Structure 1
Amino acid sequence: MSQERLFDPYEVVKKHRTRFSAPPRLVPAGGVDVSGGGRWRIWEHAGTKIDAPIFGNGDMLAAFAGPTEFPQFWVTTNDFWQMSSNANWEFFHDNAVAKHDPAVGLGSPRPVGRLVFDIPALAGASFEAWQEFATATTHARYTTVDGAEVEIISWVAAQENVLIVEFTADRETAVGVDFRFPDEVGQGCDVGVDFEGSGGQDASLSGTFVGLVGGKPVQVMTRRAGLISGSRTFADGVDVPTKVGFAGRFLGEHGLEGVIRSGETLTFVLPLRSWAKTSRPVEYARSRATWITADDLALLREQHENWWREYWGVSGIHIGDALLEEKYYLGQFMMGCLSRDPDFPPNILGISTFDRMAWNGNYKVNYNHQSPYLGLLAAGHFEQADAHDAPYLAMLDIGQEMSRRLLGHGGVYLPLGLGPAGMVSEALLLHMKSPAVHGAINMLMRYRLTLDAGYLRSVYPFLRAVAEFWEHDLVEDDGVFRIVGDGMHERPTSHVLAHGLPENPGNTLGYLRTFFRQFTEASTDLGLDAEHRERWLHIAAHLSPYPVGVIADIAENETLWNEGEATIVDLVPESFQREPVFLNEEKGSAWSLHFPGNIMQIYPGGAIGLGSPHDELAVARNTVHALALTEEGLGATGAAVDAPTDADAHPHFRKAGAWNATNLSCLFFPAAVRVGYDPEVIWRELSERLAFRGMPNGYIEGNPHGIENLSTVPNTLQEMMLLSHEGVLRLFRGWPRRLQPDAAFTGLWATGAFVVEAALAEGEVVSVGILSHRGLECRVENPWPGREVRVEGPGGDRILSGAEIVFGTVEGGRYRLAVV
Structure 2
Amino acid sequence: MEAVEWKKRLDKYKGVFTEPPKIVPTDKVVDGPVIGNGDLGVTTSGNPEHQRLWISKTDFWKAKLMYPNGGPCLLGGIDIHIPDLANASYYSEQRLNEANVVSTFHGAAASVTMTSWVPATENALIVELSCEKQAVSVKLDLWVHQGNESTTEHGQYGDVAWATRKFTGQDIEWPTEGVIAMSCSAGSHLFELQPGTKQYIVAYVATNHEEENDIQESVGKVERTDENRIESLRLEHVQWWSQFWAKSSIEIGDELLEKFWYGSHYIMACCSRNKKFAPGLFGNWITTDTPAWAGDYHLNYNYQAPWWGVYSSNHVELSEPYDTPLIEYMSNGRRYADEYLGRKGLYYDVGIGPKGLPTALCTTPYENGHMFLGQKSNTALSTVNMLMRFYYTYDLEYAGFVYPFLTEVADFWEDYLTFEEGRYVIYRDSIHEVGTYTESHSDDNWDRGMEDMNPILSLALIRLLFKGLLEISEHLNLDANRREKWSHIVQHISAYPTFEREGKTIFRLTEQGTEWWEDNTLAIQHIWPAGGIGLDSDPKLLEIAKDTITVINRWTDYNGFPTIFTAAARVGYDPEIILRQLRHQCLEHSFPNLFIFFGGGGIECCSGVPSAINEMLLQSHEQAIRLFPVWPQDKDASFKDLRAVGAFVVSSKLADENITHVDIKSEKGKTCRIFNPWPNKEFSIVEVDGDQRTPIEWQLSANVISFETQAGKTYTLQ
1:658-673 equivalent positions in 2, closer than 5 A: 658-673=554-569
The answer (yes or no) to whether the contact 1:6–1:757 under 8 Å persists in 2 is: no
- The equivalent residue for 1:218 is 151
1:286-435 equivalent positions in 2, closer than 5 A: 286-350=219-283, 351-427=285-361, 428-435=371-378
Change (3 A) 1:445 1:224: closer
- 1:639-680 per-position Cα deviation (integer Å, ceiling 9, x unaligned): xxxxxxxxxxxxxxxxxxx21101022111000000000000
- 1:183-205 per-position Cα deviation (integer Å, ceiling 9, x unaligned): 4xxxxxxxxxxx4xxxxxxxxxx
Q: Matched residue of 1:63: which SS? A: strand
- The equivalent residue for 1:154 is 116
CA distance in 2, matches of 1:723, 1:365: 26
Q: Matched residue of 1:276: which SS? A: coil
CA distance in 1, matches of 2:446, 2:210: 45
| 1:501 aligned to which of 410, 426, 451 | 451
- The equivalent residue for 1:796 is 695
- The equivalent residue for 2:590 is 694
- 1:412-470 per-position Cα deviation (integer Å, ceiling 9, x unaligned): 11001111111111241000111111111110111011010110111111001011110
How far did residue 222 of structure 1 move?
Answer: 3.0
- 1:496-534 per-position Cα deviation (integer Å, ceiling 9, x unaligned): 335652111111111111211121111111001101111
The answer (yes or no) to whether the contact 1:219–1:232 under 8 Å persists in 2 is: yes
CA distance in 1, matches of 2:57, 2:597: 25
The answer (yes or no) to whether the contact 1:599–1:623 under 8 Å persists in 2 is: yes
CA distance in 2, matches of 1:698, 1:452: 32
Q: Matched residue of 2:310: which SS? A: helix
The answer (yes or no) to whether the contact 1:108–1:361 under 8 Å persists in 2 is: yes
Q: Does 1:468 align with 2:468?
A: no
Change (3 A) 1:530 1:672: same
- The equivalent residue for 1:627 is 552
CA distance in 1, matches of 2:375, 2:448: 17
- The equivalent residue for 1:113 is 76
CA distance in 2, matches of 1:51, 1:449: 33
Change (3 A) 1:733 1:788: same
Answer with 449-458 or 379-388: which moved more. 379-388
Instruction: Give the TM-score normalised by structure 1.
Output: 0.82
1:62-141 equivalent positions in 2, closer than 5 A: 62-86=42-66, 104-141=67-104
Q: Matched residue of 2:286: which SS? A: coil
CA distance in 2, matches of 1:586, 1:701: 32
- 1:31-73 per-position Cα deviation (integer Å, ceiling 9, x unaligned): xxxxxxxxxxxxxxxx111111111111111111122221011
Which amino acid in structure 2 is aligned with residue 489 of structure 1? Answer: H
CA distance in 1, matches of 2:83, 2:603: 35
CA distance in 2, matches of 1:459, 1:277: 24
How far did residue 16 of structure 1 move?
Answer: 2.3
How far did residue 26 of structure 1 move?
Answer: 0.4
CA distance in 1, matches of 2:569, 2:184: 52
Q: Does 1:546 align with 2:508?
A: no
The answer (yes or no) to whether the contact 1:178–1:228 under 8 Å persists in 2 is: no
How far did residue 5 of structure 1 move?
Answer: 8.1
CA distance in 2, matches of 1:417, 1:530: 34
CA distance in 1, matches of 2:8, 2:105: 29
Answer with 695-704 or 48-57: which moved more. 695-704
CA distance in 1, matches of 2:480, 2:495: 27
Change (3 A) 1:147 1:731: farther
Q: Matched residue of 1:617: which SS? A: helix
Change (3 A) 1:528 1:799: closer
CA distance in 2, matches of 1:132, 1:701: 20
| RMSD across aligned positions (CA) | 1.7
The answer (yes or no) to whether the contact 2:179–2:214 under 8 Å persists in 1 is: yes
Q: Matched residue of 1:528: which SS? A: coil
CA distance in 1, matches of 2:144, 2:513: 47
How far did residue 700 of structure 1 move?
Answer: 3.3
Q: Matched residue of 1:481: which SS? A: strand
Answer with 778-787 or 674-683: which moved more. 778-787
- The equivalent residue for 2:656 is 762
| 1:12 aligned to which of 1, 9, 14 | 9
Which amino acid in structure 1 is aligned with residue 126 of structure 2? Answer: I
Q: Does 1:617 align with 2:542?
A: yes
1:208-287 equivalent positions in 2, closer than 5 A: 211=148, 216-223=149-156, 225-236=158-169, 237-251=171-185, 253-287=186-220
The answer (yes or no) to whether the contact 1:599–1:671 under 8 Å persists in 2 is: yes
- The equivalent residue for 1:633 is none
Answer with 604-613 or 105-114: which moved more. 105-114
CA distance in 2, matches of 1:366, 1:230: 37
CA distance in 2, matches of 1:477, 1:492: 30
Q: Matched residue of 1:746: which SS? A: strand
1:55-66 equivalent positions in 2, closer than 5 A: 55-66=35-46
CA distance in 2, matches of 1:625, 1:816: 38
Instruction: Give the TM-score normalised by structure 2.
Output: 0.94
- The equivalent residue for 1:712 is 608
CA distance in 2, matches of 1:106, 1:537: 43
How far did residue 786 of structure 1 move?
Answer: 3.0
How far did residue 703 of structure 1 move?
Answer: 2.9
Q: Does 1:143 align with 2:106?
A: yes
How far did residue 14 of structure 1 move?
Answer: 4.1
The answer (yes or no) to whether the contact 1:8–1:313 under 8 Å persists in 2 is: no
CA distance in 1, matches of 2:300, 2:54: 29
CA distance in 1, matches of 2:617, 2:382: 25
The answer (yes or no) to whether the contact 2:261–2:610 under 8 Å persists in 1 is: yes
- The equivalent residue for 1:205 is none
Which amino acid in structure 2 is aligned with residue 610 of structure 1? Answer: L
Structure 2's unaligned 5+ residue stretches are: 362-370, 437-442, 689-693
Q: Does 1:23 align with 2:20?
A: yes
- The equivalent residue for 1:169 is 131
CA distance in 1, matches of 2:143, 2:16: 27
1:516-535 equivalent positions in 2, closer than 5 A: 516-535=466-485
The answer (yes or no) to whether the contact 1:787–1:801 under 8 Å persists in 2 is: no
Q: Does 1:437 align with 2:388?
A: no
| 1:581 aligned to which of 506, 521, 525 | 506
Change (3 A) 1:500 1:749: closer
Q: Does 1:736 align with 2:637?
A: no
The answer (yes or no) to whether the contact 1:437–1:511 under 8 Å persists in 2 is: yes
| 2:645 aligned to which of 721, 726, 751 | 751
Q: Matched residue of 1:129: which SS? A: strand
| 2:424 aligned to which of 481, 492, 498 | 481
| 2:395 aligned to which of 430, 452, 456 | 452
Answer with 16-25 or 675-684: which moved more. 16-25
Structure 1's unaligned 5+ residue stretches are: 30-46, 87-103, 184-194, 196-210, 552-576, 629-657
CA distance in 2, matches of 1:148, 1:704: 43
Q: Matched residue of 1:660: which SS? A: coil
Q: Does 1:813 align with 2:709?
A: no
- The equivalent residue for 2:368 is none
Percent of aligned pairs with the same residue?
Answer: 32
- 1:666-699 per-position Cα deviation (integer Å, ceiling 9, x unaligned): 1110000000000000000011111222212232
How far did residue 588 of structure 1 move?
Answer: 2.3
CA distance in 2, matches of 1:500, 1:336: 39
- 1:71-108 per-position Cα deviation (integer Å, ceiling 9, x unaligned): 0110021111011245xxxxxxxxxxxxxxxxx15111
